[in-house]
Amino acid sequence: MTQPDARRVVVTGMGIVSPVGNTLDAAWDALLSGRSGTGPITRFDASGFATQIAGEVRDFDPRDRLDAKEARRTDRFIQLAVAATQDALAHAELKITEANARRVGVLLGTALGGIETAERELRTLAERGPGRVSPFFIPMFLADMGSGYVSIVVGAKGPNFATLSACASAAHALGEAAEIIRRGDADVMLAGGAEAPVTPGSVAGFNALGALSTRNSEPETASRPFDATRDGFVVAEGAATLVLESLEHAVRRGAPILAELRGYGATGDACHIVQPAPDAAGAAEAMAIAIERAGCTPAEVDYVNAHGTSTPLNDRLETVALKRVFAGHRVPPVSSTKALTGHLLGAAGAVEAVFTILALTRGVIPPTWHLRTPDPACDLDYVTDGPRPATIRHALSNSFGFGGHNVSLLFSRFEE
């Protein structure tokens, strides 16, 4: 149901660190020009692995954001989260002071947290014994430390925790952060997600599930959402943070308002640990809830940024879900930006929320690159003919995770 008396939540700033770029403009330019962020793995020796490709963040030095000592004491996912949040605050022209710190919270999602640290320290334990394990192992590894450490760096003293729901983690973070603002527990929430899963254990584990693309000879085009030749997702790293504010707070400080987060739908499949429900009912219901709570109708949705992972089952069932929720209406144009970024797991929902808002504000739908061979089971308008100019009033961003987690966020063009 709609919430007419609840506080409106707007987006006033965004920051991104991703395989396609470490600024909003660089990432957006890559999406429109088709510049892929996936390639051969360089973060470890992947020879012998079934998958040897990933989406890696390039040209990132944590010492540009943290002093050398702190950079050594933080996992890569934390470092990426700090960078994205610092950039989001700058974009929002927001300064956190003692006067407002208690009204600014942090909520960042992740799926694997400090997996790079965990793998390294467990190797140390096995090879050199318990006395050589770092005293920073646990603080670097804990999944909540993205939110916790960011709050320390920026000085935010409001609500602070992490969401962990696999590939829906960052979308859950954004939705729950909006609810915190709506109920009056904060005026500002720094929300999003961070992930650094390009590690031997992560790649080997996803390979064991049969989830990853093994198209190693075509690293830049291996991610092919909705294409008949898709063979799995390309794992990727990165982070994105959105500054969410109550409308009253944003107006009072004269903040730049980018979009409004009007709808948040979250459901569970209660079906399978890694596969979506075969009827796609949970995913469809999440979208329907987001649309209804936004006070919209399906006919008013102009664009869907799909979860679109490039896995055979997910893409087919997301298509089924879209047909269910838009039954009787035209299914709006759909695209999956994972074709270029790869799949950022727990950070994907935040990165794709950024892209959804850029599509809203710039009036262009980024295409689904690498979709060349139509799949009869995926028969929607996936925008494959290059960037498509469009007037977008309302847009959905979907995120679905292992464990049956479904989240849909509805962003709208801001109107007084």
pLDDT of residue 5: 54
Residue with tokens 């949040």: 85
Q: Tell me whether the CATH fold assigned to 10-252 matches the one assigned to 265-412.
A: yes
pLDDT of residue 1: 41
The reply to whether 307 belongs to the active site is: yes
Query: And the tokens for 304?
Result: 């869907």
Query: And the tokens for 18?
Result: 């991703």
Using DSSP, state whether 28 is helix, strand or coil. Answer: helix
Task: Decide: 18 and 27 in contact? Cβ < 8 Å.
Answer: yes
Residues 6+ apart with CB under 8 A from 195: 77, 80, 110, 111, 112, 236, 237, 238, 239, 344, 345, 346, 347, 348
Question: pLDDT tens string for the chain (416 positions)?
Answer: 444 457 899 999 999 999 999 999 999 999 999 999 999 999 999 999 999 999 999 999 999 999 999 999 999 999 999 999 999 999 999 999 999 999 999 999 999 999 999 999 999 999 999 999 999 999 999 999 999 999 999 999 999 999 999 999 999 999 999 999 999 999 999 999 999 999 999 999 999 999 999 999 999 999 999 999 999 999 999 999 999 999 999 999 999 999 999 999 999 999 999 999 999 999 999 999 999 999 999 999 999 999 999 999 999 999 999 999 999 899 999 999 999 999 999 999 999 999 999 999 999 999 999 999 999 999 999 999 899 999 999 999 999 999 999 999 999 999 98
Residue with tokens 């991610």: 223
**Residue 407 β-bridge partners:** 266, 399
Query: And the tokens for 402?
Result: 């292992």
The reply to whether 272 belongs to the active site is: no
The reply to whether 378 belongs to the active site is: no
Instruction: Give residue limits of the domains in the chain.
Output: 10-252, 265-412
What does the buried/exposed string (b/e) look like for 178-206 if buried means 16 or more CB atoms within 10 Å of the residue's CB?
Answer: bebbbeeebbbbbbbbbbbbbbbbbbeeb
- In angstroms, the CA 315 to CA 213 distance is 14
Task: Decide: 178 and 94 in contact? Cβ < 8 Å.
Answer: no
Q: Within 13 A of 367's CA, how many CA atoms are on the CB side?
A: 16
Using DSSP, state whether 63 is helix, strand or coil. Answer: helix
In terms of DSSP bridges, do strands 259-268 and 188-195 run parallel, antiparallel, or are they unpaired? unpaired
Options 91, 343, 370, 394, the catalytic residue:
343
- Measured in degrees and rounded to the nearest 5, phi and psi for residue 323 equal -65, -35
- In angstroms, the CA 399 to CA 409 distance is 9
CATH topology of domain 265-412: Peroxisomal Thiolase; Chain A, domain 1 (3.40.47)
- Class at the top of the CATH hierarchy for domain 10-252: alpha beta
Q: Which of 288, 304, 305 is nearest to 296 (CA)?
A: 288
DSSP state of 212: B
Q: How many CB atoms lie within 10 A of CB 324?
A: 16
Cα separations in angstroms, 166 against 159, 300, 330, 346: 22, 30, 31, 6
pLDDT of residue 3: 47
Options 91, 307, 370, 394, the catalytic residue:
307
Q: Which of 188, 13, 177 is nearest to 100 (CA)?
A: 188
Residues 6+ apart with CB under 8 A from 70: none
Query: And the tokens for 22?
Result: 């470490």
* Phi and psi based region of residue 184 (left: phi greater than 0; alpha: psi -120 to 50; beta: remaining): left
